[in-house]
Amino acid sequence: MRFTKTTIQQATNLLLKSKNVALFAHTRPDADALGSSVALHLALAKANISSQVFCDSPLSQEMIDMGFDQYVKSEFFGQYDLYVSVDCGDANRIGEFAPVFTSQKNTLTIDHHGGDYYSANNCVILYSATAQIIYEIISGFGIELDKQIATYLYAGLCTDTGCFSHSNTNKDSFLLASKLVEYGVNVEYISRLFFKDTSFKQSKFIGERMNKMLSLCDGKFVVIFAQEQDWQKYGLTRLACEGMVSHAIDVKEAIVAASISQYGENSYKISLRGKNFDVQRICAQFGGGGHKFASGCQINGDLYDIIDKLEREVIYYL
Ligand SMILES: [Mn+2]
């Protein structure tokens, strides 16, 4: 297969000449993956093109509150004339459906991570969110946007920019936000849902985890971690650890932060954040990836061995 670079215009044309499109959001989906996929699905419907959104993972409560569960199927079915991966920097991000996707001829990637091309057509642009690429693509559909589509795109843009505060936030992020808000997006609802709302149990759990945070490398590397019993104690699931890393990187002295959460008996999921410090190269060494200043990976082994391994990597690059 030839992997070619695809412009917005070409991606728009590819979609518009299709009759039935399969859309794949990445595993453990966030609001950009689902907001982009479902917005594209709704826009395609307006252009009289049928499509189906697939994602291999259960949806978090926030995603259900957004209404994404009404559109997303966790079992793959059907035959399509175009297969599209949305917000997936590499084919593995498609998760369980990766083999389905990679065995197709007519594939299109719409993504902003800037990884290697793995589709026949690759519309990869380093925007702050995939939602931004989707907006430009559907602008060529000749349809009228509505509040729902605008809300889904806004959710992707708002969350991927950390509520317009990460270093990937730029003039274009605000320009798009301003266009979307014109359709009546409830800005307060989205920021509350994704950045503020937390249950009492969750607050207690995070409080305890923050109390146990480790300060390494003279305070430049802050680690927050949780094992199964830590969230079970509060009747929570491992989803309680989502976003935990932000509390570590919020420490003023921290240049790098890690959250380490148990994923299996002897396996941990790592999220790394950097302040103008490339954490992608560290995650890549453990087979992970993401963005330059926000990346993740999974490491097998003992919790404290993993902390040591990460500390050695951080020291090397500091
Ligand atoms: Mn994204």
Q: Write out pLDDT tens, residues 272-294.
A: 999 999 999 999 999 998 889 99
Residue 287 CA, ligand 1 centroid: distance in Å: 19
**pLDDT tens for each residue of 228-262:** 999 999 999 998 998 899 999 999 999 999 999 99
pLDDT band at 210 (very low <50, low <70, confident <90, very high): very high
pLDDT digits (tens, 9 = 90+) for 75-93: 999 999 999 999 999 999 9
The whole-angstrom separation of Cα 18 and Cα 31 is 26
Q: Give me ligand 1 centre to Cα 157, in Å.
A: 8
Q: Which residue has the tokens 């395609």?
A: 44
pLDDT value at 62 more than 90: yes
Q: Which of 141, 146, 139, 100 is nearest to 119 (CA)?
A: 100
Using alpha carbons only, give the angle 261, 266, 268 rounded to the nearest 5 degrees: 25
Determine the Cα–Cα distance for residues 115 and 126; give it in Å rounded to an integer: 10
Ligand 1 mean position, distance from CA 302 (Å):
31
CA–CA separation, 152 and 66 (whole Å): 8
State in Å: Cα 87 to ligand 1 middle.
Answer: 5
Determine contact, residues 297/288, Cβ cutoff 8 Å. yes
C-alpha 91 – ligand 1 centre gap (Å): 15
Which pairing describes strands 289-290 and 294-300: parallel, antiparallel, or unpaired? antiparallel
Exposed / middle / buried, residue 46 (Cβ in 10 Å: 0-12, 13-18, 19+): middle
Interacting residues of 101 by C-beta distance below 8 A, sequence separation 6+: 24, 83, 85, 91, 94, 107
For residue 112, the CA-to-ligand 1 centroid distance in Å is: 7
From CA 155, how far away is CA 194, in angstroms rounded?
Answer: 9
Task: Report the alpha-carbon distance of residue 269 to residue 225 in Å, rounded.
Answer: 10
Say whether pLDDT at 112 is over 90.
Answer: yes
pLDDT at 290: 86
Pick the CATH number of 4-194 from 3.90.1640.10, 3.40.50.300, 3.20.20.240, 2.60.40.10: 3.90.1640.10
Q: Give residue 2's pLDDT.
A: 80
CA of 218 to the centre of ligand 1 (A): 32
- Rounded to the nearest angstrom, the distance between the alpha carbon of 89 and the centre of ligand 1 is 9
Range 156-183 average pLDDT: 96
| The domains spanning 4-194 and 201-317 adopt the same CATH topology | no
Domain coordinates in residue numbering, the chain = 4-194, 201-317
Nearest CA to 290 out of 81, 33, 47, 4 is that of 33
Q: In this predicted structure, what is the pLDDT of residue 291? A: 85
The DSSP output letter for 253 is: T
Q: Place 167 in a pLDDT band, splitting at 50, 70 and 90.
A: confident
- What is the mean pLDDT of the segment spanning 123-132? 97
8-state DSSP, 58: P
**Cα(234) to centroid(ligand 1), Å:** 30
| 72 three-class SS | strand
| DSSP SS3 for 152 | helix
Question: Would the pLDDT of 63 be above 90?
Answer: yes
Mean pLDDT of 106-121: 95
Tell me what the mean pLDDT of segment 117-134 comes to: 97
Whether residue 179 has pLDDT greater than 90 = yes
- Taking the centre of ligand 1 as the mean of its atom positions, its distance from the CA of residue 306, in whole angstroms, is 27
The pTM of the whole model exceeds 0.85: no
CATH architecture observed for domain 201-317: Roll (3.10)
**Cα gap 176→131, rounded to integer Å:** 10
Centre of ligand 1 to C-alpha 217, Å, is: 30
